[in-house]
Amino acid sequence: MDDSEFDVIEQYFLPLGEWSLGDTRVGPGDDCAVVQVPDSRQLCISTDSFIEGVHFPTGANGQLVARRSMAAAISDLAAMGATPFGMTGALTLVAVSAPWLKQFSSVVADLIKRWQIPLLGGNLSRGSELSVTWTVMGLVEPGRYLLRSGAQADDDIYISGYPGRAGYALAGVLQGREVAANLEKHYSHPTPRLELGKLINGLASAAIDVSDGLLADLQHLLTASGVGARIDLASLSDDVELFAACGQADGVRLALTAGDDYEVCFTAPIEQRKVLKQISEQLQLPLTRIGKIIQSKVVEFENVPRQFDPTTLTAQPGYRHFK
Amino acid sequence: MDDSEFDVIEQYFLPLGEWSLGDTRVGPGDDCAVVQVPDSRQLCISTDSFIEGVHFPTGANGQLVARRSMAAAISDLAAMGATPFGMTGALTLVAVSAPWLKQFSSVVADLIKRWQIPLLGGNLSRGSELSVTWTVMGLVEPGRYLLRSGAQADDDIYISGYPGRAGYALAGVLQGREVAANLEKHYSHPTPRLELGKLINGLASAAIDVSDGLLADLQHLLTASGVGARIDLASLSDDVELFAACGQADGVRLALTAGDDYEVCFTAPIEQRKVLKQISEQLQLPLTRIGKIIQSKVVEFENVPRQFDPTTLTAQPGYRHFK
């Protein structure tokens, strides 16, 4: 690193390390950060990279990159039912742009407080491609975490929030179309479902972070659990705003396959329906029951809209960004 | 992610997550890994990115990228005096090359065991630039870690190992020159000084991981401690093999500025000389006393070789890779 790199770190990133939850003994700036881990806790850890032109559009502003990348990374903690504990970030810049860095760092400063996840350290490099890699850590009580592998036959399958809205908004942005604010915000201001993850921890039988599309990520949950699913496609049209904007066939397709939501897909025994309804009301967050787990290792669809061909789904399992 | 990305993860990386220190409750493959943190420990954490053409030569084989990037990342734990606990890796590939992935993953498999640092999770992306970002975690007893900020006037300054050899070897590799195996191995097979870090934890007054060149990183230690240094350049010629290969002036320049070593620079009170000599013998690792801390916030040089102009050093503080 040379002086300009240290200047960027000092100006934009070292101040972000000053906020902590009280556990930080050494913040960013030494060889390592040091944090006190509460006794009798297990640490959940996940790492995610976000690359310009792959995970966000080329030329995206610093706010969007910070918001979407942080939400996506922290969404993995939500899906484990973990409480955020800290994160590190590795940023690779093609060039030093003060406005971009100001946008990026001010959103990070805001979100680490909003989502209560201190920035413990970072790395700044120059490269030929803009990217950011977040490593997030959370805490759970011993053994109390949500896995992908616990779904049982007859369990209900739920999806949180508004699957498909972010994908609809992204398509609009890329095509230069105007998108209603109530749909657009799910792309530009995604929210990791941290409160939900904690509330369903202990009552859900399995959970997965949705980031590659509902159907693709549900498939990972089904594989890990050794089961199948019957999906009621009519349940997806509960999102009347999305369906009004794009029609039934596109609405179903987006809700099932768009890889731009950071929602939680989870399963729970039927007897939890009442509690989950209360949680949904408490959080003012839709928890849509989209189907049920079946023993047979297949995915079946019910109430298929007339204009929609479900065989196209197998050729499009989420967002493909790897050749 | 699509199928080919999952295939790469399954074939090359999931097997690496099977080895653990006994604390891993959930390995790679779910939304997060889960590890049990021993009670009454503090967690040290650091993240580092390594980018093709910046941190390693374009076209480098998978072994070299794995060895050098892992050593560099883990060297930060060594400089804190921490015991490795776990790591995550985020790999960005331009294309899927089975031979390269085999080289890379087999070296990672070897080194996580050698350095006792389980692979807890990872991320695989496609991008236009090959890079790997490691986030390393280590444990210390509460308050027992090495900072950059504790150096006091009259403390001795030490450097571990063989500063300059890796830089000499890299220059040889880039120029197509043959380099003696005993020098070359410090470039191709760097070793994080984990045992050293643990043994000097509690007796060194300050320490820093050297990765940007001895002088540049010493300067960070001096700044953090609010002191200066008097460096005896004659001490560097203890490395007779390096000096025989490249001459006195280049030997001094490389030892002070080459950014390719992963050694530990540290300071210690004079009364620790005897113990440090024993540690050096125990580890069969040179601990070269290169000077002393002074109150005045400057860096002075003694015994400057006749062919060597120390004023060139201020214009070359380590490897500059940021414009």
ipTM of the complex: 0.93
Give residue A2's pLDDT. Answer: 52
Topology of domain B3-29+38-140, per CATH? 60s Ribosomal Protein L30; Chain: A; (3.30.1330)
A126–B54 CB contact, under 8 Å: yes
CATH superfamily of A156-304: PurM-like C-terminal domain (3.90.650.10)
Q: What is the Cα–Cα distance from B51 to B262, expressed in whole angstroms?
A: 17
Determine the average pLDDT of the residues in B220-230.
96
Query: Which residues 6+ apart lie within 8 Å of A252 measured at CB?
Result: A233, A236, A237, A305, A308
Q: Please report the residues numbered 73 through 132 in chain B whose beta carbons come closer than 8 angstroms to any beta carbon of chain A.
A: 76-77, 79-80, 82, 86, 88-90, 92, 95-96, 120-129, 131
The domain segmentation of chain A, as residue ranges, is 3-140, 156-304
User: What integer pLDDT is reported at residue B319 of this predicted model?
Assistant: 36
Count the Cβ atoms, other than its own, within 10 Å of residue B182: 13
B259, B212 in Cβ contact below 8 A?
yes
Give the per-residue pLDDT at B314. 58
Model confidence over B300-317: pLDDT tens digits? 999 988 887 777 765 544
C-beta atoms of B133 and A47 within 8 A: yes
Terminal Cα-to-Cα distance of chain A (whole angstroms): 33
Q: What tens digit of pLDDT does each residue of A203-228 get? A: 999 999 998 899 999 999 999 999 99
- CB-nearest partner of A2 from B53, B96, B322: B322
Q: Give the CA distances from residue B49 to residues A89, A113, A131, B60, B114, in Å, rounded to whole numbers and listed in that order.
A: 10, 25, 11, 16, 21
The DSSP bridge partners found for residue B301 are B231
Give the amino acid at A15: P
Q: Tell me how far CA of residue A211 lies from CA of A182, A216, B181, in angstroms.
A: 20, 9, 48
CA B189 – CA B195 distance, rounded (Å): 17
- A13-71: per-residue pLDDT in tens? 989 989 999 899 999 889 999 999 999 999 999 999 999 999 999 999 999 999 999 99
- The answer, for A21 touching chain B at a CB cutoff of 8 Å, is no
The answer to whether residues B115 and B74 touch, using CB atoms and an 8 Å cutoff, is yes
* Contact residues on chain A for B142, CB-CB shorter than 8 A: 36
Contact (CB<8Å) A89/B47: yes
The pLDDT of residue B308 is 79
Is residue B35 within 8 A of residue B28, CB to CB? The reply is: no
Q: Of B120 and A238, which is predicted with more confidence?
A: B120
Distance separating alpha carbons of residues B67 and B76, to the nearest angstrom: 15
State how far the Cα of A60 lies from the Cα of A103, in Å rounded to an integer. 11
Report yes or no on whether pTM surpasses 0.90. yes
B275 to chain A, closest Cα gap in Å: 24
Residue in chain A nearest B34 by alpha carbon: A44
CATH class belonging to A3-140: alpha beta
Q: Which of A36, A41, A45 sits opposite B33 (nearest CB)?
A: A45
Domain B156-309 of CATH type 3.90.650.10:
yes
Q: Find the closest chain B residue to A50 by CA distance.
A: B125
Asked if the Cβ–Cβ distance from A31 to B138 is below 8 Å, we say no
Find chain A residues with C-beta within 8 A of B43's C-beta.
34-37, 43
Which of residues 155 through 184 in chain A touch B, CB cutoff 8 A? none
